[in-house]
Amino acid sequence: MNVGNVLKERRISLNMKQEDLAERMGVVVQTVSKWERGITEPKASQVAMLSEILDITEREICRGQFSSGKLETTEFVRKVSNLMNAISETEMLFVMQSFIDDEEGFIQKLSSAVASPSSPDPIVVKLLLSKIESGEVTFSSEVEKQSTIAALTQAVGDN
């Protein structure tokens, strides 16, 4: 696989047209076409934006291959949440740092979240509620489950 194949495969999996990607990137369609056919590659300055738009890592783009460790967001959050209880905060931070490609960007994103907390996305909250109700998300106790459902329901009601 190469850079172009990764971009094309991910774009198609998101049901996105070349035109849509080109518009979001601020380039012409021919540029996206050339990337996907391997004639040219995106500039280094464009890789971060492609990563965000296509929801893949910069590493996957630059290496021209998907990592096998990509999880659905809710599954990732559930697994990490469960594991965070088993290790110290310091240990967790050391592990995170070793896997974060853009440490400064990560810190800036955290800082902006702290400075201006946003209300939760109602679509994400509803998705999480449905996963809880279907049993895909588990809890250590029924009390924890009910308090989480109550908090999520309130969050959806506040929007």
Q: What is the pLDDT of residues 1-43, one digit of tens each?
A: 799 999 999 999 999 999 999 999 999 999 999 999 999 999 9
Provide the 3-class DSSP secondary structure of residue 96: helix
Q: Would you say 50 and 3 are in contact if contact means Cβ atoms under 8 Å apart? A: no
Going by CATH, does the domain composed of 3-63 fall within 1.20.1050.10?
no
pTM of this structure: 0.46
Nearest CA among 74, 73, 56, 78 for reference residue 65:
56
Q: What would the mean pLDDT of 86-101 be, rounded to a whole number?
A: 85
All CATH 1.10.260.40 domain ranges in the chain, comma separated: 3-63
28, 41, 121, 141, 144 from 20: Cα distances, Å: 10, 18, 23, 45, 42
**Tokens representing residue 154 in the block:** 């309130």
Q: How far apart are CA 36 and CA 55, in angstroms?
A: 17
